[in-house]
Structure 1
């Protein structure tokens, strides 16, 4: 069984729309609905859990019904931080799925993710026990030095860009957070599951990623996604 945890617990909105970015509407539909549909329409996905801010749970329930998002089986309460939300989502699943089932983690405001990315994360996590979406660094990289200068060239081939979705066997994901909590890492490292894995010395296995798989953060990202949706709609009509 493959379950997707979609994180929609944030309340901040740098896009300036007066609501969390995952609930901003693009062509009349919330960004979060587009994100959920990626997994709703993928035959390899069995169930979806949405981790949502308490103030938006009623809105979310209506959205799920409106767009026929039948794979959404559970809604969990979001936390104050990324890690709180992930742990809330994990804990809510403990009595609902098996240790040897698989769990993916996705941002609610990441609606660009393609089936190619999802399918490769599933392939790698089933083979290795975990997977991250990894994109090569295509542009020239350099150091960020004082007074807005750059003095050192960085070999981009030695680095990757990491994005969601991540994928894990459920018992391994539980173990990551158990060990991180025992070592006091939850509040100390950058707030991502992958950051905890690095801090614990675990190996991260790479799955396919590409430059279109961005997370919406700014007004420009919203405009880019609107253009992307219009392009997809045009292709369907051809």
Structure 2
């Protein structure tokens, strides 16, 4: 079984919308619904779990019914940060899936994800045990001396830009978080699964990524997504 774990536990204050950014409506539909629909319609996904900010759990249940998100089997409460939400999601699946099931962790505010990215994450994870959606780093970059200047460049060919979805064999990711909690490592790293894996000496395997698969963080990102939705709608009309 392949399970998508959609993280909707954040408040998204930088968007300035007065609500968690994943629940902001774009053309009448909340961002979180667009994100879930990408996994709902994907043939490789068997079930979906939403890790939701507590204040919006009842609303999330309404959205599941309103938009016919039939693959959403579980809604569980989010944590205080990214790591806490992932941990809550993993723990909630303890008695619901097997060691070799694949779990795809994805940001609820990343609705740009396309089907080929999901499919490749599943493919690589089946072979390697984990897969992180990754793209090359295309921009010129340098090491910051301070907030005003740089005097040393970074070879962009040596940089991998990692994004969600993050795919893991369930037994693997459960054990990593179990060890991280027991040893206290979970409190020592930036709140992302990838940094936790680095800290614990794990190898990260790359799967297909895309520069367009951005996470909505600012008001400008919301505007960009609206344009993206309109483009998709236009292309759908042209294909009829």
**Alpha-carbon deviations, 1:160-209, whole Å to 9, x = none?**
11100000000000111122123211111010111110000100000011
Residues 147 and 104 (structure 1), Cα distance of their counterparts in 2 relative to 1, 3 Å cut: closer
**Alpha-carbon deviations, 1:104-151, whole Å to 9, x = none?**
100100000111111111110001010001110011111112251111
Is there any run of 5+ residues in structure 2 with no aligned partner, and where?
A: none
TM-score w.r.t. length of structure 2: 0.97
| Cα distance in 2 for residues equivalent to 1:147 and 1:74 | 44
2:50 is paired with a residue whose SS is strand
Residue 148 in 1 paired to residue 148 in 2?
Answer: yes
Which stretch of the first structure deviates more once superposed, 220-229 or 172-181? 172-181
| Cα distance in 2 for residues equivalent to 1:117 and 1:231 | 19
Residues 67 and 142 (structure 1), Cα distance of their counterparts in 2 relative to 1, 3 Å cut: same
1:162 is paired with a residue whose SS is strand
| Cross-structure match for 2:36 | 36
The within-5 A match list for 1:54-73 is 54-73=54-73
TM-score w.r.t. length of structure 1: 0.98
Residues 76 and 147 (structure 1), Cα distance of their counterparts in 2 relative to 1, 3 Å cut: closer
Which stretch of the first structure deviates more once superposed, 215-224 or 12-21? 12-21
CA RMSD, aligned part only? 0.8
The within-5 A match list for 1:119-158 is 119-158=119-158
Note if contact 1:101-1:170 (Cα within 8 Å) is conserved in structure 2. Answer: yes
| Cross-structure match for 2:2 | 2
Note if contact 2:12-2:217 (Cα within 8 Å) is conserved in structure 1. Answer: no
Number of residue equivalences: 238
Note if contact 1:5-1:106 (Cα within 8 Å) is conserved in structure 2. Answer: yes
Is there any run of 5+ residues in structure 1 with no aligned partner, and where?
A: none
State the shift of 1:155 in Å: 0.3
